[in-house]
Amino acid sequence: MAVVVRYVSKSGDIIERFLGIQHVPNTTSLALKKALLELQLIFVALSRCCKGLEDFFDDVKEIANLSSSSCRRKDILLDKHKEILLSKIKKGEMPTGRGENQETSLCRPGDTRWGSHYTTLCRIESMWDAAIEILRIVEYDSRNPTKAGGYVHKMETFSFVFHMKMMLRLLRMTNDVSLLLQKKEQNIVQAISLVTDVRALLVNWRDHGWDSLLEDVKSFCIENEIIIPSMDTMVTKWGRTIKGGNYAVTTDHFYRVDTFYVAMDSIITEFDHRFNEASSEVI
pLDDT tens for each residue of 212-258: 999 999 999 999 999 999 999 988 865 554 455 556 889 999 999 99
Buried residues in 130-148 as b, exposed as e (16+ CB within 10 A): bbbbbbebbbeeeeeebeb
**What is the C-alpha to C-alpha distance for residues 233 and 211, in angstroms, rounded to an integer?**
18
Q: Determine if the pTM surpasses 0.85.
A: no
Residue 103 banded pLDDT, cuts 50, 70, 90: very low
The confidence score (pLDDT) of residue 45 equals 62
Q: Which residues are within 8 A (CB) of 282 and not within 5 positions of it... i.e. 6 or more apart?
A: 21
Phi, psi for 218 (deg, rounded to 5): -60, -40
pLDDT of 260 > 70? The answer is: yes
Four-point Cα dihedral 275, 276, 277, 282, nearest 10: -60
Top-confidence residue, 281 or 60: 60
**152 touches 98 (CB < 8 A):** no
**159 touches 217 (CB < 8 A):** no
Q: What is the mean pLDDT of the chain?
A: 78
**100 touches 157 (CB < 8 A):** no
Give, in order, the Cα–Cα distances in Å from 201 to each of 171, 181, 197: 12, 18, 6
**39 touches 19 (CB < 8 A):** yes
pLDDT in tens, 61-78: 888 888 776 677 777 777
**What is the C-alpha to C-alpha distance for residues 224 and 214, in angstroms, rounded to an integer?**
15
pLDDT in tens, 162-178: 999 999 998 888 877 76
Q: Which residues are within 8 A (CB) of 145 and not within 5 positions of it... i.e. 6 or more apart?
A: none
| Nearest alpha-carbon partner for 170 in 196, 148, 191, 198 | 198
The confidence score (pLDDT) of residue 72 equals 72
pLDDT of 36 > 90? The answer is: no
Phi, psi for 144 (deg, rounded to 5): -100, 150
The confidence score (pLDDT) of residue 164 equals 95
Domain ranges of the chain: 1-39, 40-282
